[in-house]
Structure 1
């Protein structure tokens, strides 16, 4: 199996207008869109953003009749403590092949909102990492932890600051990821647009030193032009740390493939 992009958004996400057919111009053997599930989302006027599962199923059925690609159902789940029961109720009624876990917001603001610039950056980072650790203790239905540094994107952290101030919190998070046999995502939007490759250069060996083995690459594309963005660069970084395999998830199965 050739590795495929496991973090993509389409018009079924509140922040994308992309159509499936444009992604399929890349002729992927496997395709999975991971559209947003974020309840009470401050990034969208506190609406509940829930993918239209029926529309997804109908669309994939139509595409399967016209493309040789194998289509999978995916979702990116943003979790705020207290929402777990509602999210689980939805997931129990709507089966997905791939589920990403993300921390985007805390019920009051998104960690990318301007409000974070008015607060102490260390307090925001502590809040973000504590929320992530709590969610990993209370929400169990995901295979990949995405963009670990999402909550730091507006705050200009260095690897040295993470090591000095938050290695304890990050080690706790990574141990939980390992215990649950989840994968750690290397996120292209983080790596490139937000210029946080240096933070991944810090966290990859930390994760590996704790026993972490599973890595994924995700473009986090919201338009087809970003499909598999920066995959060679991100794969190159993993190889620097003697990591030579990626993992792909399909329901309860893992598939391993050599780094591209």
Structure 2
């Protein structure tokens, strides 16, 4: 089964890719199921009070009502050609948990990616979070924030790109042993709560030397009994869609996994690799 479970359209502030064009491309590629996962990042992005098509870098989160309306239109129009799911990517911080809980309670999501895009309202991609901290300090603080969030917030499906901080680590690779204890606690919590993790194929686009999360993290997840895994391209434009999904399935087989997941109404569906 060819799927992509991390897809952004022009309902995300960093994409101008129209949803209908995404679906047409997915069908052309032979993708059988696709889940939209638009960005919401309370704390650093204001709520989207209006939806302006093809506007980038508005600093606003997804406009839920417009997103849902277009999703339902497209889902009905292409129902014979592809399975579409209504997802979201929550960039949760400890102090924004209550806002995301309200959002989740209001909309019928099939799938929720819980990501850490910033800590203390400081972005990673600008180096604001890393500046003034040693590599050990910002790496440790990043994983501490994820653990703090998932100990409280439970309405999610998978953790997105768990070791994403390495994308923006200008010092280079940070030894896994130094964060292993924290990552272990994160994965134990994920497993105990019946949640999962995603493999994010943007690692290939960013030129990283490992998967995201790393093979070390994936091995640890399996050793701890983790089974729920989704695969997503983190697509923001046409050439990203479906990228390296099938290659990642081969990686999972090599690591000893025998299944991957899609979701329906927040429930995991298992598929054999």
TM-score with structure 1 setting the length: 0.90
Instruction: Say whether the 8 Å CA contact 1:42–1:109 is kept in structure 2.
Output: no
**Residue 26 (structure 1) aligns with:** 26
**Residue 94 (structure 1) aligns with:** 107
**Residue 50 (structure 2) aligns with:** none
**Residue 150 (structure 1) aligns with:** 164
Specify which of 24, 27, 38 is matched with residue 41 of structure 2: 38
Residue correspondences, number: 255
Matches of 2:125 and 2:207, distance apart in 1: 11
Over aligned residues, Cα RMSD in angstroms?
Answer: 2.2
Structure 2 unpaired stretches of 5+: 47-55
* Helix, strand or coil at the partner of 2:271: strand
Structure number with the higher helix fraction is 1
Matches of 1:232 and 1:29, distance apart in 2: 13
Matches of 2:45 and 2:135, distance apart in 1: 20
Matches of 1:64 and 1:129, distance apart in 2: 36
- Deviating above 4 A after TM superposition, structure 1's stretches of 4 or more consecutive aligned residues are 42-47
**How much has 1:85 moved relative to structure 2?**
1.1
Moved more, 117-126 or 179-188: 117-126
**Using a 3 Å threshold, how does the CA distance of structure 1 residues 235 and 157 change in structure 2: closer, same or farther?**
farther
* Helix, strand or coil at the partner of 1:88: helix
* Helix, strand or coil at the partner of 1:11: coil
**How much has 1:229 moved relative to structure 2?**
0.8
Matches of 1:119 and 1:42, distance apart in 2: 24
Query: What pairs up with 1:101-250 in 2 under 5 angstroms?
Result: 101-115=114-128, 116=130, 118-155=132-169, 156-158=171-173, 161-163=175-177, 165-197=178-210, 200-250=214-264
**Residue 51 (structure 2) aligns with:** none
TM-score with structure 2 setting the length: 0.86
Matches of 1:138 and 1:112, distance apart in 2: 26
> Could you list the per-position Cα deviations for residues 31-55 of structure 1 after superposition, in whole angstroms to 9, with x for gaps in the alignment?
32100110122799995x4322221
Instruction: Say whether the 8 Å CA contact 2:113–2:160 is kept in structure 1.
Output: yes
Matched, 1:60 2:71: yes
Instruction: Say whether the 8 Å CA contact 2:229–2:261 is kept in structure 1.
Output: yes
Matched, 1:82 2:95: yes
Instruction: Say whether the 8 Å CA contact 1:33–1:74 is kept in structure 2.
Output: yes
* Helix, strand or coil at the partner of 2:162: coil
Instruction: Say whether the 8 Å CA contact 1:143–1:182 is kept in structure 2.
Output: yes
**How much has 1:191 moved relative to structure 2?**
4.2
